[in-house]
Structure 1
Amino acid sequence: MKRVVITGAGTINAIGHNVAETLESFREGRCGIAELDVRDSERLSVTIGAQVKNFSSEGLFNRQQMVLYDRFTMFALIAAREAIGQSGLEFSGELAAKTGAVLGNSGGGMTTLDENYRSVYEDGKNRVHPFVVPKLMNNAAASHVSMEFNLKGPTFTVSSACASSNHAMSQAFQMVRTGMSPVMITGGSESMLCFGGVKAWEGLRVMSKDGCRPFSANRNGMVQGEGAGVFVFEELEHAQKRGAEILAEVIGFAMTSDASDIVMPSKQGAARAISGAIQDARLNPSDVGYINAHGTGTAANDKTESAAVADAFGRHADTLMISSTKSMHGHLIGGTGAVELLACIMAVRDGIIAPTISYEEPDPECALDVVPNEAREAKVEVALSNAFAFGGLNAVLALRRFA
C-alpha cells in the first residue's frame, strides 16, 4: 500500500473565500450564519443560512462557461483552482491519464432546477435552455474540474447526502493508496440555498430559525450552508520527488450503513465507522486527539454521535477534543465533509483546534469536550472527520500530522 498525503487545499464557504480566510475564521470563531438573501424569502419560515456572501463570478468565468455552470460547479472550480495551484501540479502525459476527480454532491444544480421550474410553472414558458440538464446534473462539477485541468483518469460524483464528501475522499484515498492513481483531486461542493432547496428542508422540521448550537442543551436544529472544499491527494513518494509541501497524511477510512431508518441516526452504525477508521489506520483509540464532529445541532444527531464516540473510545472519550465547525459555516450537505477536513488539517498541522461556537448550555447526553466557543492550542497527532447521512450512511476519515 502507498502512503497518501495532501499537497493542496482549496475552499469557498460562508466564513472564507479561500483556505487562509477559512482557517482564520476557525481560529477567531467567526459565524457565517445570517439572514438569507434569496428570492421569495418572505415565504420561508426558515430565513437564516450560511451563504457565500460578496461572491461574484465576474472575472472568474467567461460567458460561455457561465451558461454551463450552476453555482455549485462554480464553487468546486474555485476550490479546485486554489488546491491545484497550491500543489504546483500540472497535468499532462501519463500523469493526466491517471489522475481523476472524485467529488461529493447531494442536490446537484438546485439553483438551476429552481429557476427553470419557475420558468415553466410560474412564467408559463414551454422551453428551457438546452444546457439545463448538463448544468444541473450531479456530476457537473467533477466533469468541469476534469476538463479544466486535463484530468483523464477516474472521474465521478458520489451522492450520499451529508456523507457525500467523505465517501468521495475515501474513494480517492483508496485509489491512490492501492496505486491505481498517483494523484486524485477530491472533495465536495453544494449550493442548495435557493427558495426550493430551503423550502424542501423546512418540511423535515430539523431546521433552526435562530442559529446552530451543536451539543448545547438548548440546540434546536441545523442551519444550511453552501460552498466547496477540494484537495489534492497524492502518493507520498510522488510528492517528495518533486519537493511538494505536505499538509497532512491521510491514513485510514471506514464506511458503514445503519440499515435501520431513513432519517434517524444509529449509534451502532456511527460507532462502527469510527472504530473502522481507527483500525484501518492501524491505530489505537488513544492515538486520536481530535474529532471534527458531524455535529449538526439537531437533538437526535448530537446525542447519538456523542454516544457513538463514547462507545468507540471508551475511557479515552474523556480526553478527546471534539468540535463542530457547522456552528460557523453551517451544514453544507454533500460538501460538508470537505470543508470540515480543513479543521482536521489545521489541528494536526498547526496545533489549533477549531471551536464549537454558540455553545450555551451543557447537555448531559453530550458529555464530551466540545471545545466551546474559543479555539484551543493543542498538539494533535491524529484527527478524525465524521460524516453521518440521512439513509444511515456513515463515513469517517483519519488524518495524521506529517513530520
Structure 2
Amino acid sequence: MSRPDSTASTRVVVTGIGALTPVGNDRESSWQALLAGRSGIAEISRFDARDFPTRIAAEVKNFAAEDHFDRKRLRRSERFSQYAVVAAREAVHDAGLAVDGDPDARIGVQINNAVAGFPGIEAATDQRHDDPRKVSPYFVSSVIPNMPACEVAIDLGAHGPVNASALACASGIHALLEARRTILAGDADVVVAGGTDAAITPVMFTGLSNMGALSTRNDAPERASRPFDAERDGFVFGEGAVVLVVESAEHAAARGARPYMEIRGGALTSDAFHVSAPHPSGEHAETAMRRALAAAHTGPDEVDYVCAHGTATRINDRLESRALRSVFGEAADRLLVSSPKSMVGHMIGAAGALSAMVTALAMRDGAVPPTVNLDTPDPECDLDYVPHTARKADVTTALVNAFGFGGQNVVAVLGAPRD
C-alpha cells in the first residue's frame, strides 16, 4: 500500500553499487579498468566461434558460479540470474543495508534484462531433440525474464515490490527510473535496481551477424569497439550485471548512509518506427533528452558529462551526436561525452546500469573515463568524446542515454548528492 502523499519522499539517491563486468568482477576493479582504458573484449570462449563472422565478445572472466552458490541453487538458475545476485550482494554490502527478511521492511527489487535466459533456452532445445528427459524441471523457472529480480529478492529476503521490465538495450537505466518512481509513489523506501544479461551463444551470434550488427574486427579484439570513430563497423556483444541500491534521501539519511548521487529525473519516448533501426531524424531520442532535463529541472548549461549510448554502429553514433548538439546548443562544445562500450562492449540489459555506475563514480572521483579506439573521429560526430585517456573533471550533473531495439529511448539525469 502506498504512503499518503504528504509523507512521500521527494528525493531519491543511490547508496550502493555492485558490478560484474567484462573488465572486473566487482565495482572497484571494473571502475579502475575503465579509467585506465583497459578493454575486456577478446576471443569468444563460451563456444567454438571459428566459423563465425564475428569471433569476439566482451565476456565476464574468471567467474566461478560454484564459488557463490550451492549445487541446488546452480541447478535452478541461469547465468543472467547468477550475475544479478552477485552484483546485488555487493551493492547491498556497499550500501551498508540490512535486508533480513522482515516482511514489514519496505525494500523492493527492480532487475531488468533484455534477452532473458537465452543460453538455457538454446541448450534445452538441443536437449529436447536429443532426449526430452534431459530437459531440467527447473528450465522454465530459470529462463523467464523476471527470474533475476525474483532470485535477488529471494537471496536478500526482500519482501517489497519485485518487478522486471525488458526495454532491450535501454533496460538497465530504466530500472533506476522505475525504482525512483516506486519510491516516489510511496511503495518502497529502498529498491535494489539494475540490469543483467548473459547471452553469448551460437544462435545469438548467428542472428546478430546476419543482421550485420556486430563488429568483425576479429584480429584486434581490443580495438574492435570504436564509438564515434569513422572506421567503426558495429558493436561488440557483451554481458554482465550492475546493480545499485536506490532509496529515498530521507531513508538514507536516517540510517547514516552516504549517497553516491541523486536520480533527479528521466524520460522515455518511442521512435514508433522500426524493430531495430532508429528513426532517421533522431528527433524522438532528442525529445527524451529534453523531457528528462525538464523533469529534473535542469538546464542544458548545468550538465557536465554525458555517458553516451555510443554503440559504435554507424547510424546510432551519428544520431546521438546530432541530438546532443541540438539539445545542448552552445553548451555542447564544453560537454564531456564518453562511451564505456568502447571497453566493455554492449552489455545489453546491463548497459544502462553500467552507465549509471560510471556516472556515480565519476562524480565521486572527479574523473571521466575515456572513449578508447577513437583514432579517426567521424566528422559527423563532433563533440568532445574524451578520446583515449581519462580526464579529471568536476562532474556535478550528468545525462545518461540508452536507446533500445524497437525504438525505446530512455534518458536519466543524475546529480551529485546534496546536503
TM-score normalized with structure 1 length: 0.97
TM alignment of 1:191-270, pairs within 5 A:
191-210=198-217, 211-266=224-279, 267-270=282-285
> Matches of 1:125 and 1:352 in 2, distance apart?
54
Q: Which amino acid aligns with 2:194?
A: G
Percent identical: 37
> Matches of 2:175 and 2:416 in 1, distance apart?
22
Gap change, CA 1:126 and 1:180, over 3 Å in 2: closer
Alignment match, 1:369: 384
Cα deviation, residue 386, structure 1: 0.5
Q: Which amino acid aligns with 1:194?
A: T
Q: Which amino acid aligns with 1:245?
A: R
Deviations 1:189-214 (A, max 9, x none): 00011222222211211100111100
Deviations 1:100-156 (A, max 9, x none): 1111101111121121122223x3545511110011111110001011111111111
Secondary structure in structure 2 of the residue aligned to 1:41: coil
> Matches of 1:328 and 1:249 in 2, distance apart?
26
TM alignment of 1:6-45, pairs within 5 A:
6-45=14-53
Alignment match, 1:336: 351
Deviations 1:16-36 (A, max 9, x none): 100100110111000000000
Deviations 1:311-361 (A, max 9, x none): 111111111111110011110111111112111112222111011011110
Report if the CA contact (8 A) 1:222-1:298 is conserved: yes
Confirm whether residue 153 of structure 1 aligns to residue 166 of structure 2: no
Deviations 1:164-209 (A, max 9, x none): 1122211111111333211101001000112222222112111001
TM-score normalized with structure 2 length: 0.93
Secondary structure in structure 2 of the residue aligned to 1:102: strand
> Matches of 2:242 and 2:63 in 1, distance apart?
16
Query: Of the candidates 386, 408, 413, which is equivalent to residue 393 of structure 1?
Result: 408
Alignment match, 2:319: 304
The CA RMSD over aligned residues, in Å, is 1.4
Secondary structure in structure 2 of the residue aligned to 1:42: coil
Q: Which amino acid aligns with 2:339?
A: S
Cα deviation, residue 91, structure 1: 2.5
Greater CA drift, 331-340 or 28-37: 331-340
Greater CA drift, 149-158 or 13-22: 149-158
Greater CA drift, 184-193 or 109-118: 109-118
Secondary structure in structure 1 of the residue aligned to 2:263: strand
User: Please, which runs of 5 or more residues in structure 2 have no aligned partner?
Assistant: 1-8, 218-223
Secondary structure in structure 2 of the residue aligned to 1:145: helix
Give the 4+ runs in structure 1 shifted more than 6 A: none
Confirm whether residue 55 of structure 1 aligns to residue 63 of structure 2: yes
Q: Which amino acid aligns with 1:398?
A: V
Secondary structure in structure 2 of the residue aligned to 1:385: strand
Report if the CA contact (8 A) 1:273-1:396 is conserved: yes
Alignment match, 1:119: 127
> Matches of 2:122 and 2:274 in 1, distance apart?
29
Alignment match, 2:173: 166
Query: Of the candidates 168, 179, 182, which is equivalent to residue 175 of structure 1?
Result: 182
User: Please, which runs of 5 or more residues in structure 1 have no aligned partner?
Assistant: none
